Structure 1
Amino acid sequence: MNNALAALHQVAPAPDVPRRKDWAEIERALGTGLPADYKELVRIYGGSNWDDYLYVLEPDCPNAHYDLLTWADQQAEDLEDLWAYEEKPAELEAGDGARVVPWAVTDNGECLYWLVRPGLDPDGWTVMVNEARGARWEHFSVSCTRFLASALSGDLRSGILSSSFPLAVHGFRRLGPA
């Protein structure tokens, strides 16, 4: 277990039943590998809600509203349409084929993405946050689990995410059945 996952375990002990996934099939459907820390996060916590605000997406999530593959398809299409008339974030303008893939959303509509660069191993992906109804983006040079753990501890602050996040007393729930 990496340090970020260990920190999350302090916030919310692992549910009794891990979630098993066919990662090869999921990655084939997505068209890319996924970070090892995310796979471990999903194995331990599954699709999950943190502090009644942030939802970690899960492939084949028992709550279909938080399915990673569905979100990835929808966001790719929506962002391409959006960028026809709105400027892309600088991290995606380099012309190297960089793209974003969602891994979490909030109840306000913000979306958290991995910044995916061609030739970069998924374990090196970093996090980008996009405001719900606007063109503002933030980039954080950390993994998704480090982002989540650091946001919950208050060590990392986003100007886009709700100022009410994190809660003083953390809440966690797994989406769908145990």
Structure 2
Amino acid sequence: MEDLIATQTPHRRLLDPDEAIAELERAVPGFDALRLAVPATFDWPALEAALGSPVPADYQRLCELYPPFVLGDFLSVHHPTAGREREWPQWLQDDLETVAEWCEDSDPVIPLRPYPSPGGFLPWGGSNQGDVFLWSTSPAGPQEWTVTVASRSGAWWHYSGGLVQFLADLTSEAIHPWGLPRVRPQSRPW
């Protein structure tokens, strides 16, 4: 990690998963066309047991309503596979190892830890240019998790809202894409 720039904060944190999804659908024209005809059914308790923690409700709702997707031909969101939820943490292992290396190389004045350490970083997405998108987990529970961006340029920054609201704010340019290119409000299945 080279630079921790700052934290961007939404005007109002959207805590209701459906409200956050609606905001993303407004921010990305045509995104709702990707919506599954029948919501996917996940065994969230199985994923929780394998991961060691529940995941935020907005992420669960996003996975239930949408297939894996890419925003702006740039950012993809990691997505478990229904029926294979216990495998999802294993799929994240390479990203977690990379995050652990970054944390080890960070400035000791700012202690950083990968998940499953309390408050550790848990990857949820990536870009086609090597940027990594993480949850900053919280012992207070997954509804308090926020977003951390680790850009390939070395700039790290935080967003004090949830994952789905972050996607909406990033594509609508409600926040500045520090260290990232502009993410066009386009989507396609992954």
**TM-score (norm: length of structure 2):** 0.75
1:116 aligns with 2:160: no
Which residue, 75, 94, 98 being the options, matches 2:95?
75
Which residue, 13, 18, 25 being the options, matches 1:9?
25
Deviation at 1:97, TM superposition (A): 2.9
SS in structure 1 at match of 2:107: coil
In 2: Cα distance, 1:87 partner to 1:107 partner: 27
In 2: Cα distance, 1:172 partner to 1:89 partner: 39
1:172 aligns with 2:172: no
Which residue number corresponds to residue 52 of structure 2?
31
Q: In the alignment, is the contact (CA less than 8 A) between 1:92 and 1:99 conserved in 2?
A: yes
What is the total number of aligned residue pairs between the two structures? 162
In 2: Cα distance, 1:92 partner to 1:49 partner: 28
> 1:104 corresponds to which letter in structure 2?
G
**TM-score (norm: length of structure 1):** 0.79
Which residue number corresponds to residue 147 of structure 1?
166
> 1:173 corresponds to which letter in structure 2?
R
Q: In the alignment, is the contact (CA less than 8 A) between 2:103 and 2:112 conserved in 1?
A: no
- Distance change >3 Å, CA 106–CA 68, structure 1 → 2: farther
- Distance change >3 Å, CA 173–CA 20, structure 1 → 2: farther
Q: Percent identity?
A: 28
> 2:23 corresponds to which letter in structure 1?
A
SS in structure 2 at match of 1:7: helix
SS in structure 2 at match of 1:128: strand
In 2: Cα distance, 1:89 partner to 1:147 partner: 27
Q: Which runs of 5+ in 1 are unaligned?
A: 62-66
Per chain length, whose mean CA-contact separation is higher, i.e. which structure has more relative contact order (CA < 8 Å, sep 6+)?
Answer: 2
Which residue, 141, 152, 176 being the options, matches 1:132?
152
Deviation at 1:142, TM superposition (A): 0.6
Q: In the alignment, is the contact (CA less than 8 A) between 2:148 and 2:159 conserved in 1?
A: yes
